Amino acid sequence: MAAPELSVVIPVFEEEESLQELHAWISRVMKAHGLSYELIMIDDGSNDRSWEIITQLGETDDRVKGLRFNRNYGKSAALQTGFRAAQGRVIITMDADLQDSPEEIPSLYKMITEDGYQLVSGWKKKRNDPLSKTIPSKFFNFVTRKMSGIHIHDFNCGLKAYDRVVVKNINVYGEMHRYIPVIAKWAGFRKIGEKAVEHYERKYGRTKFGFERFVRGFLDLLTITFVGRFALRPMHFFGTLGILSFVIGFVFTVKLFWDKIDSIYFSQIPLKRDIYQQPIFYLALVAVVIGVQLFVTGFLAELITRQSLSKKDYLVIESVGLDELPVKVKQV
């Protein structure tokens, strides 16, 4: 059986009211544009009838595939599992709450297959969400743009399109689904585009996200920025901070000894306190110790990184003049 042109990956968490309607909507769009596809729904530990409905859809439509978690692991886990199962040339992700429109799928598909993008993120230009979601979202999108250098408006839009090679070679974990474009960029996939998409008001149920997700989202952004930039060269980070701290401590120390020498040989006014009695002495001591610790941390992290790199499979996606890709290389 030939692989489908499209894999539509949908994380599901307690969306029993919308699943049949979403399935019918996707089917109409695919049929109208003559696209072969598979629909992969990942039940993220729902407590309602979501899995029962997914099972029923799979029995009546062989293009529907379902995966079920034993408990709620989160959207990132659902997406990563869907990515592993997907067989399509292009992978589309969307939410199950009917706020993302399947009508956008054909144009997203063309942006990957014809325009050469490796990842296309939807942009909910006109967003039908309360201010409690839109204002924090705009702030985090602004911060993410500045920190990542990726100039798109909506990193967290659930409606995205990916070239197969991207989803097969990135890992999404924790709550990193918000920053998949950043993960893709650090993995070397830089052809990232954006498309303004229709966004509908929630028709059934209620939002599954609370305010705490913004706190976790900011921490995840710091994590992914650090890992992306310094995972393969930790000494550049720790060593730079260590040298800076050591130099500051050294300068303070030199000043303390110079003041002592100056008071003995050149000045008529003796120091009122010995070196160890001055507050700056302890600042200098702490700065030097921290500097040494940071430098040693960077050195140890570098050794660990070198060891792991010796076992690393590097990503080769095409070859010329070879019947097969070399051993110890990921094949896509």
User: Tell me: the pLDDT tens digits for 104-142?
Assistant: 999 999 999 999 999 999 998 887 666 666 777 788 788
pLDDT at residue 267, rounded to an integer: 67
Average pLDDT, the chain: 83
pLDDT at residue 255, rounded to an integer: 86
3-state secondary structure of 10: strand
pLDDT at residue 281, rounded to an integer: 84
pLDDT at residue 331, rounded to an integer: 40
On whether the CB atoms of residues 102 and 86 are closer than 8 A, the answer is: no
pLDDT at residue 328, rounded to an integer: 39
Tokens of 254: 């030199």
Q: Determine the average pLDDT of the residues in 259-266.
A: 73
pLDDT at residue 311, rounded to an integer: 54
Instruction: Describe the crossing of helices 279-309 and 234-261 by its angle, rounded to 10 degrees.
Output: 160
Q: Give 247's pLDDT tier (boundaries 50, 70, 90).
A: very high
pLDDT at residue 307, rounded to an integer: 67
Q: Determine the average pLDDT of the residues in 60-87.
A: 91
- How far apart CA 332 and CA 170 sit, in angstroms, is 12
pTM of the model: 0.73
pLDDT at residue 220, rounded to an integer: 72
pLDDT in tens, 160-175: 999 999 999 988 877 7
- In the chain, the percentage of residues whose pLDDT exceeds 90 is 43
Q: Give 189's pLDDT tier (boundaries 50, 70, 90).
A: very high
3-state secondary structure of 134: helix
Q: Give 147's pLDDT tier (boundaries 50, 70, 90).
A: confident
Residue whose tokens read 């040494």: 292
pLDDT at residue 265, rounded to an integer: 67
**With 60 as the cut, is the pLDDT of residue 329 above it?**
no
Residue 321 gets the label, from left (phi > 0), alpha (psi -120 to 50) or beta, of left
Give strand ranges (E) for the chain: 6-12, 37-43, 64-68, 90-93, 119-123, 160-163, 192-196, 314-315, 329-330
On whether the CB atoms of residues 156 and 141 are closer than 8 A, the answer is: yes
More reliable by pLDDT, 258 or 60: 60
- How far apart CA 153 and CA 122 sit, in angstroms, is 9
The helix (run of H) or strand (run of E) holding residue 85 is helix 75-85
pLDDT at residue 277, rounded to an integer: 77
pLDDT in tens, 206-235: 665 555 666 666 677 777 677 767 766 788
Q: Determine the average pLDDT of the residues in 190-206.
A: 85
More reliable by pLDDT, 226 or 98: 98
pLDDT at residue 262, rounded to an integer: 72
Q: Give 316's pLDDT tier (boundaries 50, 70, 90).
A: low
- How far apart CA 85 and CA 38 sit, in angstroms, is 10
Contacts 24+ apart (CB under 8 A), 17-24: 17/203, 17/204, 17/205, 18/96, 18/97, 18/98, 18/203, 18/204, 18/205, 19/50, 19/53, 19/54, 19/57, 19/96, 20/53, 20/57, 21/98, 22/96, 22/98, 22/102, 23/57, 23/61, 23/64
Q: Give 317's pLDDT tier (boundaries 50, 70, 90).
A: low
Q: Give 327's pLDDT tier (boundaries 50, 70, 90).
A: very low
